[in-house]
């Protein structure tokens, strides 16, 4: 990468014509999105809020709902289309957990609640994956399984969501709360594949941030003696087909 050329880093490109051609072809393995569908759904929840044990005569007030999280996705059914090869009709079960914030007149409290959704995807292109990918996994939970589920045919059904609470009503004396949970969903059909993509090489190492002076490891923290490395990855192999004519 030459100093006189454009600075290449991650971000939105406003003028693609100002950038030079990519300098390599890279084979990457990624979950490719074959198709995606957007839909919305809404459910009404009724929740009995709990007061603090020391308050005999609570006066409840709802303050909002936050921390929406998809905690479960299940494929209830997957039906092949009779007229369009590779297309399927899906029925999904999605469970979303969130936190309700309220006051009982004395303390600020929170309570966890869950909303469930039964989604029907009328048509989505979701072909069976030809290759099965075997990966050795550790015993630690990676946390990514909450929003996606892999079928026996190798496809990956992924659900993304933006949720919010509205139309809330609360009985200040009993703490009985009703509210609507509205969710915008995007359902994706993915399969792990290898793609050949143009690349500018590895992403450059970002500038080192300024940290206050530390007492320990003076030699290591001396940027003149131990500069931050500019290379974190191995060299890309040369493409033997890339031959220039004299």
Contact 202, 10 (CB under 8 A): no
Task: Please tell me the predicted confidence (pLDDT) of residue 101.
Answer: 97
Exposed/middle/buried for 214, CB within 10 Å: 0-12, 13-18, 19+? Answer: exposed
Task: Please tell me the predicted confidence (pLDDT) of residue 133.
Answer: 57
Closest CA relative to residue 98, chosen from 180, 172, 186, 188 = 180
Task: Please tell me the predicted confidence (pLDDT) of residue 147.
Answer: 63
Task: Please tell me the predicted confidence (pLDDT) of residue 226.
Answer: 87
3-state SS assignment for residue 30: strand
Task: Please tell me the predicted confidence (pLDDT) of residue 5.
Answer: 58
Other Cβ atoms less than 10 A from the Cβ of 124: the count is 20
Q: What are phi and psi of 220, to 5 degrees?
A: -65, -40
Contact 62, 178 (CB under 8 A): no
Report how far residue 131's alpha carbon sits from residue 13's, in angstroms, rounded to the nearest whole number. 34
> In the chain, which stretches have pLDDT less than 50?
1-2, 137-146, 245-246
pLDDT tens digits along 59-103: 999 999 999 999 999 999 999 999 999 999 999 999 999 999 999
Task: Please tell me the predicted confidence (pLDDT) of residue 196.
Answer: 94
12-17-21-27 Cα dihedral, nearest 10 degrees: 40
3-state SS assignment for residue 18: helix
């Amino acid at each position: 990468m030459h100093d006189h050329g454009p600075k290449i880093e991650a971000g939105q490109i406003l003028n693609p014509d100002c950038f030079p051609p990519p300098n390599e072809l890279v084979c990457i393995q990624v979950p490719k999105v074959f198709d995606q569908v957007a839909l919305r759904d809404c459910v009404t929840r009724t929740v009995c809020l709990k007061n603090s044990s020391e308050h005999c005569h609570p006066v409840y007030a709802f303050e909002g709902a936050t921390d929406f999280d998809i905690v479960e996705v299940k494929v209830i059914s997957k039906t092949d289309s009779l007229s369009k090869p590779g297309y399927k009709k899906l029925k999904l079960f999605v469970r979303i957990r969130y936190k309700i914030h309220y006051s009982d007149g004395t303390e600020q409290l929170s309570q966890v609640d869950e909303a469930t959704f039964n989604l029907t995807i009328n048509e989505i292109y979701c072909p069976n994956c030809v290759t099965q990918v075997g990966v050795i996994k550790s015993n630690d939970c990676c946390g990514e399984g909450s929003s996606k589920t892999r079928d026996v045919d190798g496809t990956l059904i992924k659900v993304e969501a933006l949720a919010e609470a509205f139309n809330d009503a609360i009985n200040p004396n009993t703490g009985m709360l009703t509210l609507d949970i509205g969710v915008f969903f995007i359902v994706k059909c993915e399969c792990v594949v290898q793609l050949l993509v143009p690349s500018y090489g590895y992403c450059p190492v970002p500038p080192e941030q300024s940290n206050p002076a530390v007492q320990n490891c003076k030699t290591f923290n001396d940027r003149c003696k131990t500069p931050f490395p500019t290379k974190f990855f191995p060299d890309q192999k040369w493409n033997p087909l890339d031959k220039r004519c004299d």
